[in-house]
Structure 1
Amino acid sequence: MLTIFPIYTNLKNKIISSIENFHTSGELFVAGKRNTIKLFEVDEALTLNIKSFRKPILINRIIYKYFRKSKARRSYEYATVLLKNNIGTPKPIAYSENTDIIGLKDSYYVCEHIFCDLTYRELVETNYPDGENILRQFIHFTYDMHKNGIEFKDHTPGNTLIKNNHDGSYNFYLVDLNRMNFHKEMSFELRMKNLSKITPKKEMITIMSNEYAKVSGEEEEHIFKTMWQFTQDFQYRFHRKKRLKKKLKFWKK
């Protein structure tokens, strides 16, 4: 089954062909352990970004057909919600689900490809030029998301694309969208926790807290203490999990 965003119905044949020949054509963009992303050029103005989700295990095949929306469908629907709320994300174009009597066999999410200048990860890992300005604008972007009750559960360094407008301003685009919650209103703690995975650096948290206080009107010291505590908690769990994985690998040898 293929669902196409109405303004892109003229691309139906191109999308079908790209998905059917996904494993033998297209330009490899991301070869992940779980998912693969390839690019398919339509014309000079549009390149399709097609994400092939890993084939689900048997129980998930059943769940994604009969009880829960697939990751591809969620990505598509969540992207439309983001755009309706003026939150940047690559424009959703289509999603495809292949099923049989048992359940979901495979699925694909199609969106426009954004040629970005960097991801948030570069702000964390390098001394990126104009980094503080980008970071402060990123907080405005995130606060707009929070005001709209959007909890992006994978708000991590690699999932925000950044485009330089070369006038001192930057555009931000969320990717990897299949895990989101939508609220009438987000509590202070939930908003701070939503920023806990974005950087382990205290100096970045300091800047983020300062700017968040400006846009929200909330007390800066309280923002910093809460955001930093959630960040430390997340880092502890993250590194503990890595240590456990290493131990498991060692004992398997």
Structure 2
Amino acid sequence: MANLTSHIHCQNCSMAALCLPYQLDQEGMNRLDTIIQRHKPLHKRDVLVNAGAPLKYLYAVRSGSLKSYTIDDNGVEQIIDFHLPGDLVGFDALAEGQHRSYSQALETTMLCEVPIVSLDELVIEMPSLRKQMMRLMSSEIFSSKQLLGTLNNRSAHQRLAHFLVTLSDRFKARGLSSTSFRLTMTRADIGNYLGLSVETISRILSALQGEGVIDVQNKLVNIIEPARLRELAH
């Protein structure tokens, strides 16, 4: 491709260990790389997929972030996931061949498109790729069940603490700081995801800051006492 992202390949992608190429040998990476297309950049609030759209691609996040959400019959939005670099978007469409949720960029976001037809052929021929697909889907299912447990069994303080701890762990897995990171989602998004009001999110953040557990400056979060935050999350 003639655009600026044409030099990006699985072999030199910093997110490869979290994505489809994980544990593939050089030949396997080369074969996977031949089917991947580099998606043009998404800008903040651009919609990647709409609910009901046919499944054509899975999308691997190279940089940036997105949120996935559903809209009920009354037009109420429910955020179901936040996607960071290394995540795959579109697993919800595998069952019926169409997307069940919307996905929207939270900031400028770069993606790789993985054609589902070509991927189906490769996973048959490459057991290691099939194993990684299963691993990624299993991880997504576990995360969904974990969120349900968080909403059912934790207080508002515990929900937000757990959310921050989970983000911290996810950033660490990506080679980034686990104690200082920027929230690309709004407080309204976080509240929607956790089943809390914006006012409650702001109140708890202020309380955690007052206790010296975290420091929040606009969207930048610094975790001052990681162990204490984990205690609060549980």
Q: TM-score, normalised by structure 1?
A: 0.28
Q: TM-score, normalised by structure 2?
A: 0.29
The structure whose Rg is larger is 1
Q: Which protein has greater RCO, CA pairs closer than 8 Å, 6+ apart?
A: 2
